[in-house]
Amino acid sequence: MKTTLKRLAAASAIALAAGLAVGVGTADAQQKVLRFIPHSNLPAIDPVATTGYVVRNHGYLVYDTLFATDENFKIQPQMVDKWTTSADGLRWEFTLRDGMKFHDGTPVKGADAAASIRRWTARDSFGQTLAASVDSYETVNDLTFAIKLKTPFPLMIDALGKLSSQVPFIMPERIANTDPATPITDATGSGPFRFVRDQWVPGQRAVYERFADYKPRSEAPSWAAGGKVVKVDRVEWRIIPDAAVASAALNQGEVDWWEQPIFDLLPQLARNRDIEIKNIDPVGSIMMARFNHLHPPFDNPAIRRAVLMAANQEEYLQAVVGNKEFYKECKSFFSCGTPLASDVGIEGAAGNLERAKVMLREAGYKNEKVIIISPTDIPTNHTQSLVTEDLLKRLGMNVELVATDWGSVLARRANRNAPEQGGWSMFHTWWVGPDLVNPALHAPLRGNGANAWPGWPTDARMEELRNAWLAAPTAAAQVEVAKQIQARAYDQAPYVTTGMFQQPTAFRKNITGVLISPVPFFWNVDKR
């Protein structure tokens, strides 16, 4: 069986390589082309409209940010040259670096930044918190804009420099004025790469070319901060959902970099002396099963608690990862190993199926159908879905698994209708650890109803605690509030944490300069 699979994978990779070579041979001969396999298809190009990491990764190629997070979790200026804050904390003024241009040749202005931040604050969890304090935006001159506040917001720079979804990328004002609820279709940015829109074929490829007019900072690169010096002419994303085919393509040198090789194939890749495997996930990533809080059965917190009690993280981790070198159980709602992680309430996640069955009966479950939407082209998420399907059936629930691609899952999870009317009951995903280290960043813990991350929980008490954390005067006070938040999370069960893992990446050894980061960055990367 293994031999047959290898032959099929090899044949598929050869056919794939032959097909992809058509029309790019000339370009390859004249340009330095980096071929990259992303973890999923790129179904859309608006990084404000979704928390999907593949769209975030696209965003970092195309856009730049006012501030950025470095490898020490410190916020550094990026597009901003200088900034000031008034004595009362109610006016922040930002001056951009001179000479920056958008891909259409127009200069980057303060009005572009102001419009971009305004649009971002309508969708992002941290941004929504900032928006509640904003009185107005003001254009001071071509390079300078100001944010006037109703109440002080000391975390301004933390918000504008956040690392991951959703990132406050800067767009031209004409695009940033698009209704936040309407996805943009024009990916004009000022970042180090230009999106080649007419070569984008969803499900097959996305293409980016070096932007010759990009002005990198002088500092050394560090995660999203520092000098974004581009060393290749072109980046081609090759969408290869079949892991065996992707592995064969990397082994044979038809692609240069596979973002997220599946764990089962790591030993095979490690045997190739021309391939390097690196852990790009130093903090770790958190897997989760998200409930739809709007409709039965998971509008009932007692039923959600029953599922939380039943879930055994070891079962998920063995199924998804297998190798204990790359995973551990994590029952904290804040990323394990970070300052706010705790064991408050973890008895609610004991992995006790028999106890969970009793809890489900007592909760009044009425055999409502649970529709799990699952992306077959993202193995981590699909495998979690299969484990949950089996778990819920053993728990005594009526379950239907709808398997499709990630783009379709993203579209369906935005549907707020009842599950039997095109909606859903559960989906699975994972978040990189830095996204879940504190309440300001932690979107899945929000209880702000219609504005919350898909699942849309309404929990006024959770929002009160989040505000208390934001207002806490000391780090020690923040820790105490975080414990209360975790206790509330175990009571309300907004989602089920299914384990923590570290994600390796794999690339050919003729590729140098890959930044070890929770986000795949393409500046500093060279190809010999």
Q: What residues does each domain of the chain span?
A: 2-63+185-261+505-527, 67-176, 285-501
Categorize the per-residue pLDDT at 29 as very low, low, confident or very high, splitting at 50, 70 and 90.
low
Nearest C-alpha neighbor of 472 from the set 227, 205, 154: 154
Categorize the per-residue pLDDT at 281 as very low, low, confident or very high, splitting at 50, 70 and 90.
confident
Q: Domain 2-63+185-261+505-527: which topology?
A: D-Maltodextrin-Binding Protein; domain 2 (3.40.190)
Average pLDDT, stretch 256-265?
A: 97
Exposure string of 390-413, with b = 16+ CB inside 10 Å and e = fewer, is ebbeebbbebebbbebbbbbbebb
Chain segment 133-146, per-residue pLDDT in tens: 999 999 999 999 99
Chain segment 216-248, per-residue pLDDT in tens: 999 999 999 999 999 999 999 999 999 999 999
Categorize the per-residue pLDDT at 6 as very low, low, confident or very high, splitting at 50, 70 and 90.
very low
Please state the CATH superfamily assignment of the domain spanning residues 285-501 in this structure.
Dipeptide-binding Protein; Domain 3 (3.10.105.10)
Does the CA dihedral 335-337-338-339 come out positive or negative? positive
Read off the tokens for 240. 């290869």
Mean pLDDT of the chain: 94
Q: Is 171 in contact with 10 (CB distance < 8 Å)?
A: no
Its CATH architecture, for the domain 67-176, is: Alpha-Beta Complex (3.90)
Neighbours of 496 (CB within 10 A): 25
Chain segment 373-409, per-residue pLDDT in tens: 999 999 999 999 999 999 999 999 999 999 999 989 9
- 495-501 vs 144-149, strand pairing mode: unpaired
Average pLDDT, stretch 267-289?
A: 95
Transcribe 42-104 into DSSP letters.
Answer: -----TTT---HHHHHHHHHH--BSEEE-TTS-EEESSEEEEEE-TTS-EEEEEEPTT-B-TT
Name the percent of the chain lying above pLDDT 70: 95
Judge residue 9's burial from the number of C-beta atoms within 10 Å of its C-beta, 0-12 exposed, 13-18 middle, 19 or more buried: buried
**Tell me, what's the pLDDT at 64?**
98
Chain segment 410-449, per-residue pLDDT in tens: 999 999 999 999 999 999 999 999 999 999 999 999 999 9
Residue 28 has pLDDT above 80, yes or no: no
DSSP state of 455: T
Exposure string of 210-222, with b = 16+ CB inside 10 Å and e = fewer, is bbeebbebeeebb
Nearest C-alpha neighbor of 400 from the set 378, 424, 384: 424
> 428: part of which helix (H) or strand (E)?
strand 426-432
**Tell me, what's the pLDDT at 409?**
95
Residue 17 has pLDDT above 50, yes or no: no
Neighbours of 420 (CB within 10 A): 12
Name the percent of the chain lying above pLDDT 90: 93
What pTM does this model have?
0.92
Chain segment 45-70, per-residue pLDDT in tens: 999 999 999 999 999 999 999 999 99
CA pair distance 476, 466, nearest whole angstrom: 15
**Tell me, what's the pLDDT at 280?**
85
**Tell me, what's the pLDDT at 9?**
40
Q: What three-state secondary structure class fits 446?
A: coil
